[in-house]
Structure 1
Amino acid sequence: MKALRDTWLVYSRAMKLNLKQPVWLVVMLIQPLYFLIFFAPLLDGLEGTPGFEAGAMETFVPGLIIMMALFGSTFVGFGLIAELRQGVIERMRVTPVSRVALLIGRTLSTVTTTVIQAFILVVLAALIGGLQIDWGGVFLMFGIIILTSFMLGALSYGVAMVLKSEDTLAPVLNTVVQPIMLLSGIMLPMALAPAWLQSVADFNPFYYAVEAARSLFAGDLGNDAVWQAAVFIGGLAVLLVWWASRKFARAVA
């Protein structure tokens, strides 16, 4: 019970800080909206081609949501570094708050923000681009989004605790995020890629997250990509939360 209470306290604090600066919710939506308005229409002529059987917008938007989770959650560590510099983490040494709760609470606030943004994006895509929505599949897709955001948030916080420098964190995260994005089929389905590139993508867990999101969006709940994404992303989430929790525990021990 104490761990849950501590997690709620940390989560509440993080959400209050987010609500004090709601502009970030809008800012993080701007780039996906640019893609939705200026890039998605270019895909209309690809309907019916491999990877676009469900429709151009129905194929592109799930990948766009994963991209939003990818970028929105991966860079949250910058805020933690600022708190390290301001002595916030140092002051937590004298509190009885669970060290694991410090990580879980922060990460849950990141997940909450990502889910809100994803829901807004789905609604806007339906209004602007005529997106056809299978709400049952969409709500299940949010499970993939939650796992993805949770995993990346934990990773970002853990790496931030190790590096403790924005100047170092930025290139490290960019070096990791770029190939992950390109090999996940976010922008265009990997079905369009040559065989060797598809083989490389098979080792990218985010490829399965994107494929699962597209399958769920189309109402194909039994697609293998769904359970594959749940296993790979869920397993990585558990592993990274464990690793990041150890970094937090050592930092505020």
Structure 2
Amino acid sequence: MSAATLTPTTPTSAGRPLPRRGFVRDTRIVLRRELAPVIRDPFSVVFGLVQPLVFLGLFGPLLAGSAGGTLGGDVWLWFVPAVLAMTTLFGTSVTGSNLQLDLSSGVHERMLVTPLSRPAQLVGRALKEMVPILAQSAVVLLVMLPFGLRPDPLGAVLTLLQLAVLGVGVGALSYTLALAVRKQEWMFWVVQQTVLFPVMLLSGMLLPLETGPAWMRAVSTVNPLRYVVDSGRAAFAGDVFSSTVAWGWVAALVTAAVGLTVGVRAMIRSTD
């Protein structure tokens, strides 16, 4: 009597081995899937332009009249980078709601049982946020050129790239929040709104922090968005290689690293 020999088997489909997938390939597949609805119906991207243009059209002139002397120089070079950062923050912080729709419809569960790796599913979703951010920011810059905005070209390009990196991190954190509160969808909006506005106001986005109380300036030093906003203003003014811009990149990269790390772990643990 001979002992049975066990040999490792390879998963097959219709008698053929399944192709080995790589992380980059999986990420690209998810990215294309997420971008398809945006390309077919770009209304959400166009609608996202309403808020920044309203701020520029209504709040900008008020800022020039009331704080122009405090800001010094060109008010648009101070305010437009802040509006671009605000667009990034608002647009990416709500992306978890898209995942909530997938959770409630069962799409997320079906995605989990596909051969696509779970980290790639999270990273692909987060990278998708770069496209509408860059498109909206480019339109805002073009609209403001006739009104006297004259940013440093290299500084403007680097600022858009920096905001895209920041958007990946914020988007990943938004997806993580959606997974964490999947049983209580309303909690997503409670946390998102509770965090969003303090982060925005403590970045000096709308008014200079230099005129604020000492405690507000102290708290703002731990706000990554403040460094990104300051970086955009310096880059637009032509100080591309300044320490301010360098700290902005550090803040954006750290936010992206933290967001992706936390998000990937949440996606790996996801069961439904």
Q: Identify the TM-score tier after normalising by the shorter chain.
A: over 0.9
Q: Which has the larger radius of gyration?
A: 2
Moved more, 137-146 or 59-68: 137-146
In the alignment, the residues of structure 2 paired with residue 169 and residue 122 of structure 1 have an alpha-carbon distance, to the nearest angstrom, of: 32
Moved more, 187-196 or 29-38: 187-196
1:201 maps onto 2:233 in alignment: no
In the alignment, the residues of structure 2 paired with residue 213 and residue 45 of structure 1 have an alpha-carbon distance, to the nearest angstrom, of: 22
The one-letter code sitting in structure 2 at the alignment partner of 1:32 is P
Question: 2:33 pairs with 1, 8, 13, which one?
Answer: 13
1:29 maps onto 2:32 in alignment: no
1:150 maps onto 2:174 in alignment: no
Q: Which residue does 1:246 correspond to in 2?
A: 265
In the alignment, the residues of structure 2 paired with residue 156 and residue 175 of structure 1 have an alpha-carbon distance, to the nearest angstrom, of: 13
If the length of structure 2 is used for normalisation, what is the TM-score? Answer: 0.88
- Using the TM superposition, give the Cα deviation of residue 200 of structure 1 relative to its aligned residue in structure 2, in angstroms: 1.7
Q: Write the mapping of 1:1-253 to structure 2, written as runs, cut at 5 A.
A: 2-45=22-65, 49-50=69-70, 52-127=71-146, 129-164=147-182, 165-252=184-271
- Using the TM superposition, give the Cα deviation of residue 49 of structure 1 relative to its aligned residue in structure 2, in angstroms: 3.0
- Using the TM superposition, give the Cα deviation of residue 42 of structure 1 relative to its aligned residue in structure 2, in angstroms: 1.4
* 1:184-224 Cα deviation digits (max 9, x unpaired): 01112222323332122112111111000100111111332
- 8 A Cα contact 1:62 1:214, kept in partner: yes
The one-letter code sitting in structure 1 at the alignment partner of 2:163 is I
Question: Residue 68 and residue 104 in structure 1: after superposition, are their counterparts in 2 closer, same or farther (change >3 A)?
Answer: same
In the alignment, the residues of structure 2 paired with residue 98 and residue 60 of structure 1 have an alpha-carbon distance, to the nearest angstrom, of: 41
- 8 A Cα contact 1:103 1:245, kept in partner: yes
Gaps of 5+ in 2: 1-20
In the alignment, the residues of structure 2 paired with residue 202 and residue 196 of structure 1 have an alpha-carbon distance, to the nearest angstrom, of: 10
Find the residue that maps to 1:107 and give its secondary structure.
Answer: helix
- Using the TM superposition, give the Cα deviation of residue 47 of structure 1 relative to its aligned residue in structure 2, in angstroms: 6.8
Higher normalized helix content (fraction of residues) = 1
CA-atom RMSD in angstroms: 1.6
- 8 A Cα contact 1:99 1:252, kept in partner: no
Find the residue that maps to 1:49 and give its secondary structure.
Answer: helix
* 1:16-73 Cα deviation digits (max 9, x unpaired): 01123311011111011111111101122357634x2331111100000000000000
Gaps of 5+ in 1: none
Higher relative contact order at CA 8 Å, sep ≥6: structure 1 or structure 2? Answer: 1
- 8 A Cα contact 1:54 1:218, kept in partner: no
Q: Percent identity?
A: 34
